[in-house]
Amino acid sequence: MSADTASTIRDLLRRECPGSRVTSVRPLDKGYTSKQWVADTDEGRLLVKVPQREPDPGHLRRLVANAEVAAEHGIPVVRYRRLVEHEPSMGGPLLIQEYEEGDAAGEVWESLGLDQRMALVRDLGDIIGRLHAIRGPHFGNVLGGPVASSLKESVEAEVEALIPGAELGLIGDADALRSAIGAAVAGLDDSANVPALTHGDLWLPNFLVRDGRISCVLDFEHATYADRFRDFGKLDEHLFDAFGAGREVFLASYAAACPLPDDWERRIDLGHVLHALNMHVYFRRWSPQWAPQYAEQAEKWLASRS
Protein backbone atom coordinates (compact mmCIF):
# COMPACT_ATOMS: atom_id res chain seq x y z
CA MET A 1 0.00 0.00 0.00
CA SER A 2 1.41 3.38 -0.98
CA ALA A 3 1.90 6.15 1.54
CA ASP A 4 -0.58 8.25 -0.44
CA THR A 5 -3.30 5.59 -0.09
CA ALA A 6 -2.69 5.23 3.65
CA SER A 7 -2.89 8.99 4.03
CA THR A 8 -6.15 9.07 2.06
CA ILE A 9 -7.71 6.41 4.28
CA ARG A 10 -6.62 8.29 7.40
CA ASP A 11 -8.13 11.51 6.05
CA LEU A 12 -11.39 9.77 5.23
CA LEU A 13 -11.66 8.28 8.71
CA ARG A 14 -10.89 11.62 10.36
CA ARG A 15 -13.69 13.18 8.33
CA GLU A 16 -16.30 10.43 8.68
CA CYS A 17 -15.47 9.21 12.22
CA PRO A 18 -14.19 12.34 13.92
CA GLY A 19 -14.33 10.79 17.38
CA SER A 20 -11.81 8.08 16.47
CA ARG A 21 -8.03 8.53 16.54
CA VAL A 22 -6.35 6.41 13.84
CA THR A 23 -3.04 4.82 14.83
CA SER A 24 -2.34 2.63 11.79
CA VAL A 25 -3.76 1.58 8.41
CA ARG A 26 -3.05 -1.58 6.43
CA PRO A 27 -4.59 -3.24 3.38
CA LEU A 28 -6.68 -6.39 3.86
CA ASP A 29 -6.32 -8.92 1.08
CA LYS A 30 -9.66 -10.67 1.50
CA GLY A 31 -12.87 -10.79 -0.47
CA TYR A 32 -13.53 -10.88 -4.18
CA THR A 33 -15.58 -7.80 -4.86
CA SER A 34 -13.97 -4.90 -3.00
CA LYS A 35 -10.74 -3.26 -1.89
CA GLN A 36 -10.38 -3.18 1.88
CA TRP A 37 -8.24 -1.56 4.55
CA VAL A 38 -8.09 -2.13 8.31
CA ALA A 39 -7.52 0.85 10.57
CA ASP A 40 -6.51 0.55 14.20
CA THR A 41 -8.15 3.28 16.25
CA ASP A 42 -8.54 4.14 19.91
CA GLU A 43 -12.14 2.88 19.62
CA GLY A 44 -11.22 -0.45 18.09
CA ARG A 45 -10.54 -1.61 14.56
CA LEU A 46 -12.47 -0.25 11.61
CA LEU A 47 -12.74 -1.69 8.11
CA VAL A 48 -12.86 0.61 5.10
CA LYS A 49 -14.36 -1.09 2.07
CA VAL A 50 -14.45 0.26 -1.50
CA PRO A 51 -16.69 -1.94 -3.69
CA GLN A 52 -15.35 -2.80 -7.13
CA ARG A 53 -17.94 -5.12 -8.64
CA GLU A 54 -21.12 -3.41 -7.38
CA PRO A 55 -20.37 0.32 -7.03
CA ASP A 56 -24.06 1.33 -7.12
CA PRO A 57 -24.83 3.31 -3.92
CA GLY A 58 -28.37 1.89 -3.97
CA HIS A 59 -26.92 -1.59 -3.69
CA LEU A 60 -24.93 -0.52 -0.64
CA ARG A 61 -27.95 1.12 0.97
CA ARG A 62 -29.75 -2.21 0.68
CA LEU A 63 -26.73 -4.03 2.16
CA VAL A 64 -26.73 -1.80 5.23
CA ALA A 65 -30.52 -1.96 5.60
CA ASN A 66 -30.53 -5.76 5.30
CA ALA A 67 -27.89 -6.11 8.02
CA GLU A 68 -29.75 -3.69 10.27
CA VAL A 69 -32.97 -5.71 10.00
CA ALA A 70 -31.06 -8.88 10.87
CA ALA A 71 -29.35 -7.15 13.81
CA GLU A 72 -32.70 -5.93 15.16
CA HIS A 73 -33.73 -9.57 15.47
CA GLY A 74 -30.58 -10.72 17.25
CA ILE A 75 -28.57 -12.06 14.32
CA PRO A 76 -24.81 -11.45 14.86
CA VAL A 77 -23.81 -9.15 11.99
CA VAL A 78 -21.35 -6.40 11.13
CA ARG A 79 -22.11 -2.95 12.47
CA TYR A 80 -21.80 -0.24 9.81
CA ARG A 81 -20.56 3.22 10.82
CA ARG A 82 -20.81 5.19 7.58
CA LEU A 83 -21.91 4.84 3.97
CA VAL A 84 -20.36 7.47 1.70
CA GLU A 85 -22.28 7.28 -1.55
CA HIS A 86 -19.56 8.93 -3.61
CA GLU A 87 -16.00 9.56 -2.51
CA PRO A 88 -14.00 11.33 -5.27
CA SER A 89 -10.64 10.15 -3.92
CA MET A 90 -11.79 6.52 -4.34
CA GLY A 91 -13.77 7.00 -7.51
CA GLY A 92 -17.01 5.70 -6.03
CA PRO A 93 -18.78 4.80 -2.79
CA LEU A 94 -17.22 3.41 0.36
CA LEU A 95 -18.34 1.74 3.55
CA ILE A 96 -16.85 2.12 7.01
CA GLN A 97 -17.70 -0.69 9.40
CA GLU A 98 -16.49 -2.17 12.63
CA TYR A 99 -13.90 -4.88 12.06
CA GLU A 100 -15.06 -8.29 13.23
CA GLU A 101 -12.37 -10.53 14.68
CA GLY A 102 -12.43 -14.21 13.76
CA ASP A 103 -11.57 -16.69 11.04
CA ALA A 104 -13.68 -17.27 7.96
CA ALA A 105 -15.38 -20.64 8.38
CA GLY A 106 -14.32 -21.53 4.84
CA GLU A 107 -10.66 -21.09 5.77
CA VAL A 108 -10.73 -23.31 8.85
CA TRP A 109 -13.21 -25.98 7.74
CA GLU A 110 -10.68 -28.44 6.33
CA SER A 111 -8.66 -28.41 9.56
CA LEU A 112 -11.64 -29.28 11.76
CA GLY A 113 -12.44 -32.70 13.16
CA LEU A 114 -15.88 -34.26 12.84
CA ASP A 115 -17.13 -33.06 16.23
CA GLN A 116 -15.98 -29.51 15.50
CA ARG A 117 -17.71 -29.55 12.12
CA MET A 118 -20.90 -30.80 13.71
CA ALA A 119 -20.75 -27.97 16.24
CA LEU A 120 -20.47 -25.44 13.42
CA VAL A 121 -23.35 -26.85 11.37
CA ARG A 122 -25.47 -26.90 14.52
CA ASP A 123 -24.69 -23.19 14.98
CA LEU A 124 -25.44 -22.58 11.31
CA GLY A 125 -28.83 -24.24 11.63
CA ASP A 126 -29.75 -22.11 14.63
CA ILE A 127 -28.57 -18.81 13.12
CA ILE A 128 -30.11 -19.41 9.70
CA GLY A 129 -33.33 -20.61 11.29
CA ARG A 130 -33.54 -17.43 13.38
CA LEU A 131 -32.77 -15.36 10.28
CA HIS A 132 -35.54 -17.07 8.34
CA ALA A 133 -37.97 -16.52 11.20
CA ILE A 134 -37.83 -12.79 10.34
CA ARG A 135 -40.95 -12.12 8.30
CA GLY A 136 -41.25 -9.45 5.64
CA PRO A 137 -44.20 -7.37 4.37
CA HIS A 138 -43.64 -8.39 0.73
CA PHE A 139 -41.47 -10.46 -1.57
CA GLY A 140 -38.51 -8.41 -2.75
CA ASN A 141 -36.00 -5.88 -1.46
CA VAL A 142 -36.09 -4.87 2.17
CA LEU A 143 -36.16 -1.20 1.15
CA GLY A 144 -39.01 -1.71 -1.28
CA GLY A 145 -38.94 -0.81 -4.98
CA PRO A 146 -40.16 -3.51 -7.35
CA VAL A 147 -41.84 -5.93 -4.95
CA ALA A 148 -44.38 -8.73 -5.25
CA SER A 149 -47.39 -9.57 -3.12
CA SER A 150 -47.15 -13.33 -3.72
CA LEU A 151 -44.52 -16.01 -4.21
CA LYS A 152 -45.97 -16.81 -7.64
CA GLU A 153 -45.62 -13.20 -8.79
CA SER A 154 -42.10 -12.96 -7.35
CA VAL A 155 -40.80 -16.15 -8.98
CA GLU A 156 -42.40 -15.33 -12.34
CA ALA A 157 -40.72 -11.93 -12.38
CA GLU A 158 -37.37 -13.45 -11.42
CA VAL A 159 -37.52 -16.09 -14.15
CA GLU A 160 -38.44 -13.49 -16.76
CA ALA A 161 -35.46 -11.38 -15.69
CA LEU A 162 -33.09 -14.36 -15.90
CA ILE A 163 -34.14 -15.87 -19.22
CA PRO A 164 -32.59 -13.16 -21.47
CA GLY A 165 -29.19 -13.72 -19.82
CA ALA A 166 -29.28 -17.51 -19.95
CA GLU A 167 -27.79 -19.75 -22.64
CA LEU A 168 -31.02 -21.63 -23.29
CA GLY A 169 -29.36 -23.96 -25.77
CA LEU A 170 -27.75 -25.61 -22.72
CA ILE A 171 -30.91 -25.63 -20.60
CA GLY A 172 -34.03 -26.04 -22.72
CA ASP A 173 -37.00 -24.21 -24.15
CA ALA A 174 -37.89 -20.99 -22.35
CA ASP A 175 -41.62 -21.73 -22.30
CA ALA A 176 -40.98 -25.23 -20.92
CA LEU A 177 -38.80 -23.70 -18.19
CA ARG A 178 -41.46 -21.14 -17.30
CA SER A 179 -44.13 -23.81 -17.20
CA ALA A 180 -42.13 -26.25 -15.07
CA ILE A 181 -41.14 -23.62 -12.51
CA GLY A 182 -44.69 -22.28 -12.44
CA ALA A 183 -46.02 -25.78 -11.77
CA ALA A 184 -43.50 -26.23 -8.97
CA VAL A 185 -44.70 -23.02 -7.30
CA ALA A 186 -48.35 -23.96 -7.80
CA GLY A 187 -47.73 -27.27 -6.07
CA LEU A 188 -46.65 -25.61 -2.83
CA ASP A 189 -48.87 -25.05 0.18
CA ASP A 190 -49.99 -21.45 -0.26
CA SER A 191 -50.38 -20.95 3.49
CA ALA A 192 -46.60 -21.42 3.86
CA ASN A 193 -45.71 -18.95 1.09
CA VAL A 194 -44.55 -16.36 3.60
CA PRO A 195 -41.76 -13.86 2.75
CA ALA A 196 -38.80 -14.32 5.06
CA LEU A 197 -35.45 -12.56 5.29
CA THR A 198 -33.07 -14.66 3.21
CA HIS A 199 -29.32 -14.07 3.09
CA GLY A 200 -28.85 -14.92 -0.59
CA ASP A 201 -25.19 -15.94 -0.32
CA LEU A 202 -24.96 -18.68 2.29
CA TRP A 203 -21.64 -20.50 2.20
CA LEU A 204 -18.85 -20.94 4.70
CA PRO A 205 -16.73 -17.89 3.71
CA ASN A 206 -19.61 -15.66 4.85
CA PHE A 207 -19.45 -16.85 8.46
CA LEU A 208 -16.81 -15.94 11.02
CA VAL A 209 -15.67 -18.45 13.65
CA ARG A 210 -14.28 -17.57 17.06
CA ASP A 211 -13.40 -20.18 19.70
CA GLY A 212 -15.00 -22.89 17.60
CA ARG A 213 -18.39 -21.19 17.29
CA ILE A 214 -20.08 -19.08 14.63
CA SER A 215 -19.66 -15.47 15.78
CA CYS A 216 -20.83 -13.34 12.85
CA VAL A 217 -22.74 -13.53 9.56
CA LEU A 218 -21.16 -11.44 6.79
CA ASP A 219 -22.17 -9.92 3.45
CA PHE A 220 -25.90 -9.29 3.42
CA GLU A 221 -25.67 -7.59 0.04
CA HIS A 222 -27.90 -10.21 -1.64
CA ALA A 223 -30.45 -10.47 1.17
CA THR A 224 -34.11 -10.11 0.31
CA TYR A 225 -37.56 -11.18 1.41
CA ALA A 226 -38.24 -14.49 -0.34
CA ASP A 227 -39.27 -18.06 0.28
CA ARG A 228 -36.76 -19.06 2.93
CA PHE A 229 -35.71 -22.29 1.25
CA ARG A 230 -34.08 -20.31 -1.55
CA ASP A 231 -31.06 -20.08 0.75
CA PHE A 232 -30.61 -23.86 0.66
CA GLY A 233 -29.45 -23.83 -2.97
CA LYS A 234 -26.00 -22.42 -2.32
CA LEU A 235 -25.77 -23.96 1.14
CA ASP A 236 -26.37 -27.47 -0.19
CA GLU A 237 -24.02 -26.99 -3.14
CA HIS A 238 -21.09 -25.64 -1.15
CA LEU A 239 -21.49 -27.45 2.16
CA PHE A 240 -23.82 -30.41 2.36
CA ASP A 241 -23.17 -31.94 -1.05
CA ALA A 242 -19.70 -32.73 0.33
CA PHE A 243 -20.66 -33.07 4.01
CA GLY A 244 -23.93 -34.95 3.93
CA ALA A 245 -23.32 -36.28 7.43
CA GLY A 246 -23.98 -32.82 8.84
CA ARG A 247 -27.24 -32.09 7.06
CA GLU A 248 -29.51 -33.87 9.56
CA VAL A 249 -27.83 -32.07 12.46
CA PHE A 250 -28.22 -28.77 10.63
CA LEU A 251 -31.91 -29.40 9.85
CA ALA A 252 -32.71 -30.35 13.45
CA SER A 253 -31.13 -27.13 14.72
CA TYR A 254 -32.78 -25.11 11.97
CA ALA A 255 -36.23 -26.58 12.64
CA ALA A 256 -35.94 -25.82 16.35
CA ALA A 257 -35.55 -22.14 15.46
CA CYS A 258 -37.91 -22.08 12.46
CA PRO A 259 -40.18 -25.12 12.06
CA LEU A 260 -40.25 -26.88 8.68
CA PRO A 261 -43.51 -26.88 6.68
CA ASP A 262 -44.77 -30.18 5.30
CA ASP A 263 -43.61 -29.31 1.76
CA TRP A 264 -40.10 -28.19 2.74
CA GLU A 265 -38.39 -30.70 0.43
CA ARG A 266 -40.32 -29.43 -2.60
CA ARG A 267 -39.39 -25.87 -1.63
CA ILE A 268 -35.71 -26.80 -1.45
CA ASP A 269 -35.99 -28.45 -4.87
CA LEU A 270 -37.40 -25.21 -6.29
CA GLY A 271 -34.68 -23.28 -4.50
CA HIS A 272 -32.04 -25.45 -6.17
CA VAL A 273 -33.20 -24.74 -9.73
CA LEU A 274 -33.56 -21.01 -9.08
CA HIS A 275 -30.08 -21.00 -7.58
CA ALA A 276 -28.74 -22.80 -10.66
CA LEU A 277 -30.36 -20.29 -13.02
CA ASN A 278 -29.09 -17.32 -11.04
CA MET A 279 -25.55 -18.68 -10.87
CA HIS A 280 -25.57 -19.55 -14.56
CA VAL A 281 -26.51 -16.00 -15.53
CA TYR A 282 -24.16 -14.47 -12.94
CA PHE A 283 -21.14 -16.47 -14.07
CA ARG A 284 -21.85 -15.87 -17.75
CA ARG A 285 -21.14 -12.23 -16.92
CA TRP A 286 -18.26 -12.53 -14.46
CA SER A 287 -16.58 -15.95 -14.86
CA PRO A 288 -17.93 -17.70 -17.98
CA GLN A 289 -15.97 -20.89 -17.34
CA TRP A 290 -18.31 -21.70 -14.42
CA ALA A 291 -21.58 -21.01 -16.20
CA PRO A 292 -22.05 -24.37 -18.02
CA GLN A 293 -22.13 -26.45 -14.83
CA TYR A 294 -25.12 -24.48 -13.58
CA ALA A 295 -26.82 -24.74 -16.95
CA GLU A 296 -26.42 -28.50 -16.68
CA GLN A 297 -28.07 -28.49 -13.25
CA ALA A 298 -31.01 -26.50 -14.60
CA GLU A 299 -31.26 -28.74 -17.67
CA LYS A 300 -31.37 -31.87 -15.51
CA TRP A 301 -34.07 -30.35 -13.31
CA LEU A 302 -36.14 -29.39 -16.34
CA ALA A 303 -35.71 -32.83 -17.92
CA SER A 304 -36.96 -34.47 -14.73
CA ARG A 305 -40.22 -32.53 -15.11
CA SER A 306 -40.98 -33.69 -18.67
Q: In terms of pTM, does the model score above 0.75?
A: yes
Q: What topology does CATH give the domain 103-303?
A: Aminoglycoside 3'-phosphotransferase; Chain: A, domain 2 (3.90.1200)
3-98 with 103-303: one CATH topology? Answer: no
Q: How far apart are CA 272 and CA 291, in angstroms?
A: 15
Q: Other CB atoms closer than 10 Å to residue 72's CB: what's the count?
A: 10
CB neighbours (10 Å) of residue 241? 10
Q: What is the pLDDT of residues 79-104, one digit of tens each?
A: 999 999 999 999 999 999 999 999 99
Rounded to the nearest integer, the mean pLDDT of the chain is 95
Q: If you average pLDDT over residues 49-77, what whole number do you get?
A: 93
Question: What's the distance, Cα to Cα, between the start and end of the chain in Å?
Answer: 56
Answer yes or no: is pLDDT of 115 > 80.
yes
Asked if residues 48 and 39 have their Cβ atoms less than 8 Å apart, the reply is yes
- pLDDT attached to residue 178: 98
Q: What pLDDT score does 169 carry?
A: 97
Domain 3-98 homologous superfamily, CATH: Phosphorylase Kinase; domain 1 (3.30.200.20)
Q: State percent of the chain over pLDDT 90.
A: 92
**Phi first, then psi: what are they for 55, rounded to 5°?**
-85, 10
Per-residue confidence band for 32, with pLDDT thresholds at 50, 70 and 90: low
Residue 1 has pLDDT above 60, yes or no: no
Contact in structure between 94 and 87 (CB atoms under 8 Å) = yes
pLDDT tens per residue across span 177-210? 999 999 999 999 999 999 999 999 999 999 999 9
What is the residue extent of each domain of the chain? 3-98, 103-303
Binned at pLDDT 50, 70 and 90, residue 55 comes out as confident
Distance (Å, whole) CA 293 – CA 65: 33
